[in-house]
Amino acid sequence: MPAVSTTLRVLAVSVAASLTVTGCQTLDDAGRALGRADLVNDLAARMDGALTGTWAADYRFAGGRTASIAQTQEPLRSAYTWPDGKITVTQEAVTRCENAGGRTACTVLPPELTAGKPSVVVYTEADKRGLVTPPAVMALLTEAALDPGAQVTQSDTTVAGHHATCVDVRRSAGDFTTCVTTEGLLGSFTGTLDGTPTEMALTRYTETVDPATFEVPPGAGVVDRRPATS
């Protein structure tokens, strides 16, 4: 998966910049391409806006596995929790937890600059572990918008009680379907990421976040690798 950029809109900027009418394109082709660019930029703008909010979201994967993403603005912090681990970013530390053999081990690292968007760091860490993230899905949408052979169909639906815009993509590089809610959350994704078939859907969204979400799991072993302060 590609690295996470500072804002999700960066992933879609190249779409509008690359879609120009050439001697090999018809006006209809250009119109469809620009329409795709508008759609991708709209979804990217929604997701980018969600990076500055306070919310918590639960997801369910095929097979019943679950995951959750949460963030707050005051204080700035974010967390991605899944069955095998947890990543938490606060102004004080980046904490990585792994579950294995019935035990949880956490490593506390120095904080990273978040530019007011702690989920950017969380998504980067989650991306390294092959987890589904909004930037990874936006990268697929951007590729589809630039693919003249792709068939892109837009529709509207409701996910976990929230309105969402959905995009169904059919292309030689791989088909996928994804939805983004009006609030800018990833509503669902069905497709292949890094060669792995993936299916996930939003099951709950709330703008009230439990502070315990950002704490180390109870009973976890903790190794603090932050420099000692005098």
- Domains of the chain and CATH, by start: 9-224 (2.50.20.10)
* pLDDT value at 22 more than 60: no
- Count of other CB atoms within 10 angstroms of residue 114: 20
% pLDDT > 70, the chain: 85
Q: What is the pLDDT of residue 3?
A: 42
Give the model confidence (pLDDT) of 102-130 as tens digits.
Answer: 899 999 999 998 888 888 889 988 888 87
**What is the rounded CA–CA span in Å between residue 154 and residue 169?**
9
Q: What is the pLDDT of residue 148?
A: 84
Q: What average pLDDT does range 46-71 have in this prediction? A: 92
Nearest one of 56, 48, 77, 43 to 204, comparing CA atoms: 56
Q: What average pLDDT does range 184-208 have in this prediction? A: 93
For the chain, give the mean pLDDT.
85
Across 62-126, where does the E strand assignment appear?
66-73, 76-82, 85-90, 94-100, 103-109
